[in-house]
Chain A
Amino acid sequence: MLGHPPISQKKDSEMTPSMSSQYQAALDAGRFQIQRCKGCSQAIFYPRELCPHCGSDQLAWEEPSGNGTVYSTTVIRRKAEAGGDYNVALIDLAEGVRMMGRVEGMAPADVKIGLAVKAQVIQQGGKGLVVFKAALGA
């Protein structure tokens, strides 16, 4: 008979944690990681089980440079008594992936498209989270 042999399901004992939980566990320990596909060499964010570019399941973790650029940005207007205005931005990382984030350490309205930023991991509500600051010299 032609065709593929059946692809068997792994036993529970062989199942590795989800990529998203591996990502969060590293963040909780203060480490920011993104994935890179061993098949097509493209960087991947957010964490996936399969490469969204080529479909491979051979994905490796790597530590990004942390260098990024503001792709777009907005100021969420919020009443002062609720905490005041805050920034939400989309950041293009030097590795070629985009992620949501916020730029801290400056007035939300001063965050501009094209601003060079640097990633850092903070702990928010007991969980690791990537935020950004203007890059030195930016």
Chain B
Amino acid sequence: MSMVQIRTNSSTGLQALRGKAAITGVATYGCGEAPGMDDMTLLVRAAHAAVADAGLTMQDIDGLCTASVNATMWPMPVIEHLGINPTYVNGTMIGGSSFIAHLLPSIMALAAGQCNAVLVCYGSAQRSAVFGRKESGAARRFLDPQPFEHPYEPVMPVAAYAMAAARHMQQYGTTREQLAAVAVAARQWAQKNPEAFMRDPLSIEDVLKARMVADPFTVRDCCLVTDGAGAFVLTRADRAKSGPQAPVYVLGNATACWNRQISSMPELTVTAAAQSGAQAFAMAGLKPADMDVLELYDAFTINTLLFLEDLGFVKKGEAGAFVASGAIAPGGSLPVNTNGGGLSCVHPGMYGIFALIEAVRQLRGQGGERQVAGAQLALAHGNGGTLSSQSTAILGTAATL
């Protein structure tokens, strides 16, 4: 229950890495339902498309970052399937934030000359696979034991986020309608995205009247359970300009993890995003008001509120009213989760890579009907576990270097 001392970091060594690497290729594959597919097939197809998007071949890839919900030694079979020989391998697995957290160590590896082209990739068939989300959850009780929570049967992850929402409501007067406004805004964006899984109209009342799962959440406060894969390629900035796509530069990245279990989280209304965000902005030399578009990991409606607050876009406790005003929906003052997010676009177990890919597409101007006009700076934020790990990335176009 002791509060965490937020560590600030204004290292000149990190600031020197601002803009030194760029995302040159991105791809998604099989988002939604992919019957008959497995995690690896989805991953490999997304990886192949991302490498092609970067104007490279798989043999150019000499750095690999990947993580799996189920397989602890996942980089090794991925290396086999891709037929690569990486001199940099990173299998850091801290939940859904992993693929954003992979950025900074990759930038360092590129800067040091350890490798020249890093592929970050993820795939999951959790919706369609025989060994799906339910079976994986049961196995993890043994493989990833939490003996001080399991006996109370807290259906995870929803119970953890529900208790964070209950606490936010009690402390700040946040309402269920305000939480529902997050889901409605996500759906309105999803309606502009042909890749989004759920695009039917959704009202505040629809969210409130949906099946209760864990108070105060209905099923519409919860992210989707879909299949899908995502991949991106990162290279040094000097090399990025020669690719077919406009490079998207990584201006800042930081990761923070304060706990694993929700019962070990110091304060349920303050996430480690308060630390990862401050450090990422410090590395980038930028502030929240500079951002044109945000992609925030919305596993549940409360996430978007917590991250808007902890990343500094609104004061603590004010995100509910901000969202209810329509600010984050299409036409609002601050575009958030322009692909429809984990709530309406895609959520194959871990969503972080999809938030990052959408930020890249926005900065390339490839958002189609959902494009944020003139977007130059974007923030992508990943969350992992039960509000356990947080990773923030600040991305920009060449004009922002």
Contact = CB atoms under 8 A, between A and B. Distances in A.
| A complexed with B | yes
A79 to B, nearest CB: 11
Binding site of A, secondary structure by majority: helix, strand, loop or mixed?
A: strand
A60 interface: no
Nearest to B268: A72
Contacts of B153: 76, 86, 88
B215 A101 contact: no
B159 A72 contact: no
A100 B215 contact: no
Contact of A100 (B1, B154, B166, B214): B154
B11 interface: no
B167 interface: yes
Interface string B116-155: 0000000000000000000000000000000111011111
B208 interface: no
Contact of A76 (B2, B214, B262): B214
B148 A46 contact: yes
B388 to A, nearest CB: 15
A26 interface: no
B170 interface: yes
Interface string A17-38: 0001000100000000000000
B164 interface: yes
B1 to A, nearest CB: 5
B167 A113 contact: yes
Contact of B167 (A24, A71, A96, A97): A71
A75 B218 CA distance: 11
Nearest to A53: B2
B215 A88 contact: no
Given A72-B166, A113-B167, A99 B155 contact: no
Contacts of A42: 2
Interface string B157-186: 001001110110010000000000000000
B401 interface: no
B215 A96 contact: no
Contact of B163 (A20, A46, A90, A127): A90
Given A72-B167, A102-B152, A88 B1 contact: no
Nearest to A77: B212
Given A86-B153, A90-B262, A20 B166 contact: no
B84 to A, nearest CB: 40
Nearest to A92: B1
A31 B264 CA distance: 22
Nearest to B171: A113
A88 B159 contact: yes
A114 to B, nearest CB: 8
A76 B161 CA distance: 12
A110 B122 CA distance: 42
A99 B263 contact: yes
A20 B150 CA distance: 14
Interface string B1-28: 1100000000000000000000000000
Contact of B162 (A53, A74, A129): A74
Interface string A104-117: 00000100011000
Contacts of A101: 152
B262 A74 contact: no
B163 to A, nearest CB: 4
B152 A88 contact: yes
Among A89, A96, A124, the most chain B Cβ lie within 10 Å of the Cβ of A89
Contacts of B164: 72
Interface string B212-237: 11111000000000000000000000
Contact of B1 (A86, A97, A109, A124): A97
B214 A74 contact: yes
B215 A74 contact: yes
B163 A72 contact: yes
Contacts of B268: 71-72, 90
8 contacts: A46-B263, A74-B214, A74-B216, A75-B214, A92-B1, A99-B263, A101-B152, A124-B151
Interface of B: 1-2, 147-149, 151-155, 159, 162-164, 166-167, 170, 211-216, 261-264, 268
Interface of A: 20, 24, 42, 45-46, 53, 71-77, 86, 88-90, 92, 96-102, 109, 113-114, 124-125, 127, 129
